[in-house]
Amino acid sequence: MKAWADGGPRERANDSAMVMPEATVSLCPQCGADIRLSRARCQSCGFLLAAAPPPRTRPPMGRPTPRVAGERSSLLLLLGGGGVLVLALFALGAFVSLRTPAAPMASAPPVPAPVVRLPDAPPRLDPNGLLGEARRKASAWHRDAVLVSLSAGPLDGRGVITEGKVEVAYAKPSGERVSGGATVGTERFLLSSTGGELVGREERRSKSRIAPEPSCSFDDAWAAAQRAGADAQAALGIRYAWSEKYTRAIWEVTSNEGQVLRRVDGVSCSILTR
C-alpha cells in the first residue's frame, strides 16, 4: 500500500501523536483510518483502540522557563528598600514630634488659700515697763514709797517666758534717809503680774534696805549673765536687791533651788566674781 511505502502508518501515527487537533478524535492512531464504525479494534489495521492513549485536543505546552535569579534579588531589594523607607519616615516623625514644643495647657488661675488667722500669742512680760507702772501705783500707795526688790522668772533666751511672773516690792522708809542702802520698815506693797495688769497687795515682812532703781536694766543684766555662761534653757530666775556683801544693788541670777549662779552690777552691768 502507498501508505506503507511512504513510511508506514506507524510513522504517520507517531507524527500525529505529537500534535493532534480536535478533528483527529475519530481516526485510528495507528493507521489514521476512520474508526467511528469500529469498536475494540481498528477495522483497517486491527489496532487495539482501547490501548491507544487519548488523543491530544490542544497543542502541547512548552517546558516552563525557569526564573532568572535576578528576579528574586530584585524582589528582595524592593522589599528591603520599602522597609528602610518606612523606618526613615517613622524616625523623621519622631524627631519632628520631639522638636516641636508642646503647647502649654491652659490652666485655671490658682485659687488663693483661705487666710487662717492664728490667735495672737500672749504678750511677754517686760520687767522694765512693769517697773515704771509699779512706781506710779506705789506712789499712790505712799508718796515716799521706795523700791526694795524686783524679781522675774522663769527666763529663756529672750527674757521672761509667757507663763512667767514679775513681782516688784516697795516699802515705806523708816527714817529720814531714803538713799540706797537705807533701812525700811516692815510694811510692803507688792505688785505682781503673770501676763495681765499689775495687781497690788499689802504685806508685812522683815526689815530690808532700799535698792535704788537700776541703771543696768533687766534686759542688759540678763544678756550679761548669758554671756557669762548662764543657761537660758534652765528656767532660771533673776532678782534685783541691795547686797550687804557688795554694799550696792545688784542683779542675782538664781536656780530653781535658789542658788545664786551669777551676779551682775546694778549700775555697770559687769559680772561680779569676788
Residue partners of 176: CB distance under 8 A and separation at least 6: none
The answer to whether the bond into 154 is cis (omega within 30° of 0) is yes
pLDDT, residue 28, reads 81
Separation CA 15–CA 265 (nearest Å): 152
pLDDT, residue 55, reads 55
Residue 207 has a CB neighbour count (10 Å cut-off) of 10
Q: Dump pLDDT digits (tens) for 223-254.
A: 999 999 999 999 999 999 999 999 999 999 99
What is the band of 19 on the pLDDT scale with cuts at 50, 70, 90?
Answer: very low
SS3 72: helix
What is the band of 16 on the pLDDT scale with cuts at 50, 70, 90?
Answer: very low
Q: What cell was used for 106?
A: 491652659
Q: Dump pLDDT digits (tens) for 118-147.
A: 555 567 889 999 999 999 999 999 999 999
> Cell match 515705806: residue?
172
> Cell match 549662779: residue?
261
pLDDT, residue 122, reads 63
Residue partners of 144: CB distance under 8 A and separation at least 6: 172, 173, 178
The more confident residue out of 130 and 11 is: 130
Q: Dump pLDDT digits (tens) for 55-69.
A: 555 555 555 555 555
pTM as predicted: 0.57
Q: How confident is the prediction for the chain on average, in pLDDT?
A: 80
Separation CA 44–CA 12 (nearest Å): 15
pLDDT, residue 6, reads 46
pLDDT, residue 108, reads 67
